[in-house]
Amino acid sequence: MVSRVIPVDPFDLVIFGGTGDLARRKILPGLYRRFWAGQMPEDARIVGCSRHEMSDDEYREEVRGAIQEFAIEGKEDAEKVDAFLEIISFVAVDATGDKGWKELAKKVRDEVVNAFYFSVGPSLFGDLAERLHKYKMAGQDTRIVVEKPFGHDLKSAQDLNATLRKYFAEEQIYRIDHYLGKETVQNLMAVRFGNVLFEPLWNALYVDHIQITVAETVGVGGRGSYYDKSGAMRDMVQNHLMQLLCLIAMEPPHHFEPDAVRDEKLKVIRALDPVQPEDLVRGQYEGDDKVASYFDDVEDPGSITESFIAMKLHISNWRWKGTPIYVRTGKRLKARASEIAVVFKHPPHSIFGEKANERRGNVLVIRLQPNEGMNLRVTIKEPGPGGMRLIEVPLDMSFADALGPDAGDVADAYERLIMDVIRGNQTLFMRGDEVEAAWAWADPIIASWEESGERPKSYAPGSTGPEEALMLLYREGRRWRDVKA
Ligand code: NAP
């Protein structure tokens, strides 16, 4: 099955931080892939910006290197790359000064869509917004894309929203959470709201519990100084896991349209109960003969920042009252794998006898990585004679298998989201009030740790996290799924 590519309107996309890590690894290779796929019109233009002086050609060579390193194999044919580099240029701009802004303003065309990607540290977001306004690039249809982290707590997020809204309306601000750009995450909405099969069961009457796991094998590595001020709660839970939770738990929006979807997500965040201390486990990875410990990575033996967190959450509304949602995320774990598992209840009465009830029941697994796809575990009769013995089998749909080789061509999260910016579609971007609500929920939890000064539990690298995280489920007769890479 060939995926349909609908070209976007002509645009000028300016990438502030165009020489940074994110631009090199994700944004520029992603844009190239959209160019390769034929989604970019011929008169699209991309302008890289950073303080460092360099010519257009020097920048193009940097971009070529990034494409060779990070674009998908098989798409790096020289002619296409050359054609893509033609649409790229560079302007040296200082976000905090006046250098380069006039030149940039001359370059940005009035007659096409204008988008500015803020791929720089958040402390520069306000400076960039102010200067875009000062140099008359903040027109009514201009879009800005802001990267995470969006604030450090509720107050800083509110301040940042207020600063951006001085120059741009909410409809112009695209707060990126790349988890929302993942194919499976959007499929979650398609499966829930495009079928009648699941939605009648999607509630506390039929769902025993939900597990959301985002596990990484890497440590904090070179990001140690940033990460140590953040921790798993700020870096992952408040944004990415919260967004996944919203999509899994929200009510059907009346239409697949930005505010309708975001209104429903916001209601989920607001319905979250405060987390009880006994429902929360924080961890920090140890080192071994191969990898450094968290302390060594952040160069602070006294750090009490968590590199792992597991929590039991409750949503107080009619749909979910009584169904716990377990979330966990961490670094230096056993596998690099992310999934959402909806674990359904057992049938109310087993006609096959007591033993059959020992089975674990239906589970719908939505795999975010690796091998994006879905898997529904159902109970069937074990084939052959010898009576009614039950077994569980997966109804497995990996996108690559189901949709053919072109499924591999589905856009990666960043490239999809950038194309949505050009189209002016905010559905997969976080609204300001959503981000603030998520901080309002997270702040008291973080404050309680800071007050207590309690150390996170340590866990071995390559494990599933601290023992206590297993107990969160064991104590209730449940267990975490064995999430595999
Ligand atoms: P980075 O590698 O440190 O790059 C920062 C970029 O900003 C460089 O191009 C730098 O170039 C430019 N810059 C710094 N100060 C500037 C100024 N005053 N005026 C103009 N340009 C300036 O950072 P990054 O990792 O790409 O991250 C960028 C943003 O994305 C951050 O908000 C980060 O939190 C977020 N993010 C990154 C990742 C990732 O995987 N890297 C993932 C998620 C979110 P010059 O020094 O030459 O000016």
Does the Cβ of 50 fall within 6 Å of ligand 1?
yes
**Mean pLDDT (whole number) for 277-281:** 96
Does the Cβ of 19 fall within 6 Å of ligand 1?
yes
- Return the pLDDT at 217: 97
Q: Distance of CA 245 to CAs 191, 242, 446, Å?
A: 15, 5, 19
The residue among 338, 367, 332 whose CA lies nearest residue 214 is 338
Does the Cβ of 204 fall within 6 Å of ligand 1?
no
- Return the pLDDT at 352: 82
Task: Find out whether 347 and 377 touch, Cβ atoms under 8 Å.
Answer: no
Does the Cβ of 121 fall within 6 Å of ligand 1?
yes
Does the Cβ of 17 fall within 6 Å of ligand 1?
yes
Residues contacting residue 73 through CB under 8 Å, at least 6 positions apart:
none
Using the predicted structure, report yes or no on whether residue 342 has a pLDDT greater than 70. Answer: yes
Residues contacting residue 223 through CB under 8 Å, at least 6 positions apart:
none
The atom number, within ligand 1, closest to the CA of 121 reads 32
Using the predicted structure, report yes or no on whether residue 315 has a pLDDT greater than 90. Answer: yes
> What are the residues facing 308 on neighbouring strands?
283, 330
Using the predicted structure, report yes or no on whether residue 12 has a pLDDT greater than 60. Answer: yes
- Return the pLDDT at 76: 66
> b/e per residue, 396-425, with b = 16+ CB within 10 A?
ebebeeebeeebebbbbbbbbbbbbbbebe
Closest residue by CA, ligand 1 atom 23: 20
Residues contacting residue 123 through CB under 8 Å, at least 6 positions apart:
none
Q: Which of 50, 130, 239 to mutate to test the pocket of ligand 1 (most atoms within 8 A of CB)?
A: 50
CA distance 293 to 316: 38
- Return the pLDDT at 391: 83
Does the Cβ of 68 fall within 6 Å of ligand 1?
no
What is the CATH class of 11-147? alpha beta
Extents of the domains making up the chain? 11-147, 180-420+431-474
Closest residue by CA, ligand 1 atom 3: 20
202, with CB counted inside 10 A (0-12, 13-18, 19+), is: buried
- Return the pLDDT at 409: 54
26 Cα–ligand 1 center, Å? 12
Name the more confident of 405 and 244: 244
419 Cα–ligand 1 center, Å? 21
* Paired tokens of 56: 């257009």
Q: Is 476 annotated as a binding residue?
A: no
% helix, strand, coil for the chain, step of 5? 40, 20, 40
- Return the pLDDT at 16: 98
CA distance 282 to 233: 9
122 Cα–ligand 1 center, Å? 9
> b/e per residue, 122-136, with b = 16+ CB within 10 A?
beebbbbbbbbeebe
**Mean pLDDT (whole number) for 212-217:** 98
User: What is the pLDDT confidence band of residue 389, given thresholds at 50, 70 and 90?
Assistant: confident
Does the Cβ of 239 fall within 6 Å of ligand 1?
no
Q: Which of 22, 101, 225 to mutate to test the pocket of ligand 1 (most atoms within 8 A of CB)?
A: 22
Using the predicted structure, report yes or no on whether residue 303 has a pLDDT greater than 60. Answer: yes
CA distance 295 to 304: 9
Using the predicted structure, report yes or no on whether residue 350 has a pLDDT greater than 90. Answer: no
**Mean pLDDT (whole number) for 399-420:** 73
Closest residue by CA, ligand 1 atom 22: 50
What is the CATH class of 180-420+431-474? alpha beta
**Single-letter residue type at 180:** L
- Return the pLDDT at 255: 94
For residue range 109-121, list pLDDT tens digits in order.
999 999 999 999 9
First to last CA, the chain: 27
Look at the chain and count its residues: 485
266 Cα–ligand 1 center, Å? 29
Residues contacting residue 368 through CB under 8 Å, at least 6 positions apart:
179, 182, 184, 185, 214, 338, 339, 340
- Return the pLDDT at 275: 95
286 Cα–ligand 1 center, Å? 29
User: What is the pLDDT confidence band of residue 406, given thresholds at 50, 70 and 90?
Assistant: low
Does the Cβ of 96 fall within 6 Å of ligand 1?
yes
Closest residue by CA, ligand 1 atom 38: 22
The atom number, within ligand 1, closest to the CA of 52 reads 47
- Return the pLDDT at 481: 94
> Helix (H, G, I), strand (E, B), or coil: what is residue 391?
strand
CA distance 480 to 473: 7
Residue recorded with tokens 């951006």: 164
**Mean pLDDT (whole number) for 93-104:** 97
Using the predicted structure, report yes or no on whether residue 423 has a pLDDT greater than 80. Answer: yes
Helices 154-167 and 125-134 pack at an angle, to 10 degrees, of 10
Q: Is 346 annotated as a binding residue?
A: no
Using the predicted structure, report yes or no on whether residue 3 has a pLDDT greater than 80. Answer: no
Name the more confident of 412 and 456: 456
Residue recorded with tokens 């309680």: 448
CA distance 218 to 308: 12
> b/e per residue, 68-107, with b = 16+ CB within 10 A?
eebbeeebbeeeebeebbebbbbbbbebeeeebbeebeee
User: What is the pLDDT confidence band of residue 183, given thresholds at 50, 70 and 90?
Assistant: confident
21 Cα–ligand 1 center, Å? 7
Closest residue by CA, ligand 1 atom 4: 20
The atom number, within ligand 1, closest to the CA of 26 reads 40
**Sheet-wide strand order for 390-398:** 390-398, 373-381, 363-369, 337-344, 207-215, 325-330, 308-313, 280-285, 457-459
Does the Cβ of 122 fall within 6 Å of ligand 1?
yes
Using the predicted structure, report yes or no on whether residue 201 has a pLDDT greater than 80. Answer: yes
51 Cα–ligand 1 center, Å? 11
The atom number, within ligand 1, closest to the CA of 51 reads 48
Q: Is 182 annotated as a binding residue?
A: yes
Share of the chain above pLDDT 70, in %: 94
Q: Distance of CA 361 to CAs 4, 336, 343, 345, 367, Å?
A: 37, 26, 7, 6, 19
Task: Find out whether 472 and 279 touch, Cβ atoms under 8 Å.
Answer: yes
Closest residue by CA, ligand 1 atom 42: 22
168 Cα–ligand 1 center, Å? 22
Q: Is 386 annotated as a binding residue?
A: no
- Return the pLDDT at 200: 96
Catalytic amino acids?
240
